[in-house]
Amino acid sequence: MILAIETATGMCSVALFSDGQVIGLLESDEHNAHSRILHVLIDKLLTDAGITVSQLDAIAVSKGPGSYTGLRIGVSTAKGFCYAKDIPLIAVNTLESMAYGMRATILTGGTFIPMIDAKRMEVYSAVYDAELALVKETSAEIITADSLATFKDYPHIYVAGDGAAKCKDILQQQTNITFLDGFEASARFLMEPTMNAFNAQRFENVAYFEPFYLKDFIAGKPRVKGLN
């Protein structure tokens, strides 16, 4: 029994996994409400399932990249439960979990490019092949008409996420790209990578684990690590 927490984007989402199946899901896209509603969603999810935190075998959290505040809230909550109840912590790259969700959505092969809004015309993105092997590492970049030119000969490219929505007008001239409109990060998409990690006993050090921010956060102005 695993509790999954997704707070990296505007969607606050929690899910419950049992034996590799999603048995519960609660979500809210209320703006700037993660700190207020996350514990409410978790309490209701566990209550509806008739279990307590002590009965969980692990807690999974979306580790980023994404919203600085959202990630801090989600990871702090997960670590708090793990500390209090001595529960293993599993961390999943947010873009990786989105890629799993994209593949499950279209039920076919292709190249998957999840994108998360990083403000202005910048996005966090990564590229995964049909088997969800990493083709291009997670990065933060400003999207231009040539951003995906490297993949112009790929037969089917699927782009999704809140970062993709603002790039649609710029990228849609590349004819091999299909946008999955309305696709959002969700705790339910953490299931497969979470189960892979659980079966391999790949747990985080709860004391030292930090979110994968990718950017520094400085007085409201993010800065890419290694630059400036």
pLDDT, tens digit only, all 228 positions of the chain: 999 999 999 999 999 999 999 999 999 999 889 999 999 999 999 999 999 999 999 999 999 999 999 999 999 999 999 999 999 999 999 999 999 999 999 988 899 999 999 988 899 999 999 999 999 999 999 999 999 999 999 999 999 999 998 889 999 889 999 999 999 999 999 999 999 999 999 999 999 999 999 876 444 444 444 433
| C-alpha–C-alpha distance, residues 133 and 185, integer Å | 19
Length of the chain: 228
> Can you point out the beta strands (E) in 89-218?
89-93, 111-117, 122-128, 134-142, 157-160, 177-179, 215-218
Q: Which helix (H) or strand (E) holds 72?
A: helix 68-85
Per the CB < 8 A criterion, the answer to whether 30 and 217 are in contact is: no
| C-alpha–C-alpha distance, residues 183 and 165, integer Å | 9
**Domains identified in the chain and CATH numbers:** 2-94+185-224 (3.30.420.40), 95-179 (3.30.420.40)
> Can you point out the beta strands (E) in 131-206?
134-142, 157-160, 177-179
Query: Three-class SS of residue 71?
Result: helix
pLDDT number for residue 95:
98
pLDDT number for residue 216:
62
Task: Tell me the sheet residues that pair with 123.
Answer: 117, 141
pLDDT number for residue 224:
42
pLDDT number for residue 225:
41
Provide the pairing of β-strand 111-117 with 122-128.
antiparallel
